[in-house]
Amino acid sequence: MTRLIVFDFDGTLGDTKENIVKTMQETMRRKGYPVPDEATIASTIGLPLEDGFVIMNPGITRQECLDCADLYRIVFDEYKAQLKPQAFPGVKEELAQLKAAGIPMCVASSRLSVSLNAFVRDMGLGDYIDYVLGVDFQRKPKPNPEPVLQCLEHFGIEAKDALVVGDMYVDIEMGRNAGARTCGVTWGNGTREQLAAAGADFIIDQMCELSGLVGRS
């Protein structure tokens, strides 16, 4: 039986792709780097922000990564008034159903806590999510198992009783590395093929399918 669900946020619960792509492109533009296309940026969503800059700018120094990350967060705040992301269709309804079934739910994201908590609140998901773990409170980021292990510790639940849900290969790898079952979702930034290659136990195309997995081994 599933006794805990650990969700990724960007691309899984929240449709933040436009925010991330436009913010990243403007950051690169202001820094004078080549501006990547949407697909290139989307392939880095879910990774720690600094790692994304390294992938898109091989040879960049650690300090340049940190400077880019700082500018990214400034630009992201500038765009917040124009771009207001929403939860994906069916997310709130499915979370409500899982909550009614008594299943604890948490979010483990590569996003900073201040931004993550604001999105959870503004999208109306706060009543359903019991624990929010931003990257700044993680011992090690995805695909390391630590974010999942920290969630398990918080609830006192074993890995075999947890289901990790995400849209990117790093989410699946994180869950598998922790010993939990994993579920990939196809409406985010990763492809079905990438999720399958990462070893997802389940792959779903709509959020309403998730409750049907609870209790399955």
pLDDT at 216 over 80: no
Q: Which of 33, 63, 79 is the last residue of a domain?
A: 79
Say how far apart CA 183 and CA 166 lie, in whole Å.
7
Say how far apart CA 48 and CA 34 lie, in whole Å.
20
In a shared domain, residues 93 and 56: no
In a shared domain, residues 127 and 208: yes
Say how far apart CA 178 and CA 97 lie, in whole Å.
26
In a shared domain, residues 70 and 98: no
In a shared domain, residues 32 and 74: yes
Six-digit token pair at 51? 């790692």
**Number of domains making up the chain:** 2
Phi, psi for 81 (deg, rounded to 5): -70, -30
In a shared domain, residues 139 and 208: yes
Say how far apart CA 71 and CA 215 lie, in whole Å.
44
Whether the Cβ atoms of residue 95 and residue 128 lie closer than 8 Å to each other: yes
Say how far apart CA 26 and CA 165 lie, in whole Å.
30
User: Burial, 39: exposed, middle or buried (Cβ in 10 Å; 0-12, 13-18, 19+)?
Assistant: exposed
Six-digit token pair at 17? 């792709």
Confidence of residue 124 (pLDDT cuts 50, 70, 90): very high
Q: Which of 37, 60, 79 is the last residue of a domain?
A: 79
Average pLDDT, the chain: 94
Q: 59 or 171: whose pLDDT is higher?
A: 171
Instruction: Outline where DSSP puts E strands in 157-208.
Output: 162-166, 181-185, 202-204
In a shared domain, residues 144 and 185: yes
pLDDT at 202 over 70: yes
pLDDT at 141 over 60: yes
Six-digit token pair at 89? 């269709």
pLDDT at 217 over 60: no
In a shared domain, residues 96 and 201: yes
Q: Which of 62, 79, 96 is the last residue of a domain?
A: 79
Which single residue is written with the structure tokens 């590395």? 177
Q: Give alpha helix (H) positions in 48-90.
A: 49-56, 62-79
Give the pLDDT confidence score for residue 214 in this predicted structure: 85
In a shared domain, residues 95 and 175: yes
Confidence of residue 1 (pLDDT cuts 50, 70, 90): confident
Confidence of residue 215 (pLDDT cuts 50, 70, 90): low
The percentage of the chain sitting over the pLDDT mark of 70, rounded to a whole number, equals: 99
Look up the CATH number of the domain holding residue 108: 3.40.50.1000
Mean predicted confidence (pLDDT) in 5-31? 96
Give the pLDDT confidence score for residue 83 in this predicted structure: 82
Q: Which domain holds residue 102?
A: 4-15+86-213
Confidence of residue 82 (pLDDT cuts 50, 70, 90): confident
Number of H helices, E strands in the chain: 9, 8
In a shared domain, residues 203 and 155: yes
In a shared domain, residues 97 and 198: yes
Least confident of 1-15, 41-55, 99-113, 170-184: 41-55
